[in-house]
Amino acid sequence: MSGLVTLNIIRFAVLLLLQVLVLKRLSPGIESFNYIHILLYPLFIILLPLRTPRPLVLLLAFFMGLSVDMFYDSPGIHAAASVFAGYLRGIVLYQMEPRGGYNVNFSPTKAKMGLRWFAGYASLVMVGHLFFYFSMEAFTFAYLLDTFLKTVFSFIASMAFVFSFMFVFNPES
């Protein structure tokens, strides 16, 4: 149990540092095309163990989002989107539950659940997170097309980094 806690603390720190030190500085290379934002930190929420109680998931998601907000100088937008992703995680896990149920000792990783299942699960949580994030950033329906475009392009870039992270670090728990 303490090994799992230690692993998640390390994962929290690594993803936070990657997000604020590396990915914050990446730019799409084209100044006028500002639709790509790479967000890797929701992977922390996605990879939490299955037996993690929902209130704890929401609390950890809030702390992750708040930590990112401190470095991005955004007033709670990442925290709100992270809490939404934490809430959405439970719904997605319930909807995607295998016929025999989950082994609650697992984390939902590609190694434990399979690549296809993980891709679907991570994609749904990431799309929800990104759409909520960009909706809160704009905070109006006037920019609905921009919100949609940012969500689509950021989803593609973020999922490329999620899968790169998963294949490089290959978390087993």
| Residue range 144-162, pLDDT digits in tens | 898 999 999 999 999 999 9
Sign of CA dihedral 7, 127, 69, 65: negative
pLDDT tens-place string over residues 57-75: 999 999 999 999 999 888 8
In order of 5, 15, 103, the CA distances from 173 in angstroms are 11, 16, 12
CB 161 within 8 Å of CB 15: no
For the chain, how are helix, strand and coil distributed in percent, rounded to 5?
70, 0, 30
54-72 helix and 2-17 helix, angle to the nearest 10 degrees: 30
- Asked if CATH classification 1.10.4160 holds for the domain at 2-169, the reply, yes or no, is no
